[in-house]
Amino acid sequence: MGKGKVMTAEELHFLGIKVVYKDMVDKGYEVLNVRQELDVNPQILARKEGKRYFIVVRTTVYPKKGILFPHVAADVLKHAAKHQATCLFASVGIANANGENDEEMGRPEAGGEFYINYEGLQDFPIL
């Protein structure tokens, strides 16, 4: 494995957003706005077939995937209700493709190669 710089939380988050963005565009969503700041929710505002969507993206490193905390879900649901938007969640896991064991795979490097664990947009949980 190389000795490159391990990605920061911000870099991981932005990579996850890019994965979700591309998937959404490929599926016919019109992306209206993207916010990459870690403390801003939702990250993506989109529209498809006249419906508005708020998408929360969470990204973490192998072997995990991003999780949606209940307090974040509640805040986004409240905001979405004001705008008649449907909330969706995108969970992304990033692994270092050049890692030779679990520890190395859990340390993605900036500019490196990655395995992406993303299963598409999910409905928000019922709170």
Q: What is the pLDDT of residue 97?
A: 97
3 inside domain: no
Q: Is residue 1 part of a domain?
A: no
Mean pLDDT of 20-25: 98
pLDDT tens figures, 34-70: 999 999 999 999 999 999 999 999 999 999 999 999 9
HEC assignment per residue over the chain: CCCCCECCHHHHHHHHHHHHHHHHHHCCCEEEEECCCCCCCCCEEEEECCEEEEEEEEEEECCCCCCCCHHHHHHHHHHHHHCCEEEEEEEEEEEECCCCCHHHHCCCECCCCEEEEECCCEECCCC
- Whether the per-residue pLDDT at 125 is higher than 90: the answer is no
pLDDT at 127: 58
Count of domains observed in the chain: 1
Q: Is this structure's pTM higher than 0.85?
A: yes
| Residue 60 located in a structural domain | yes
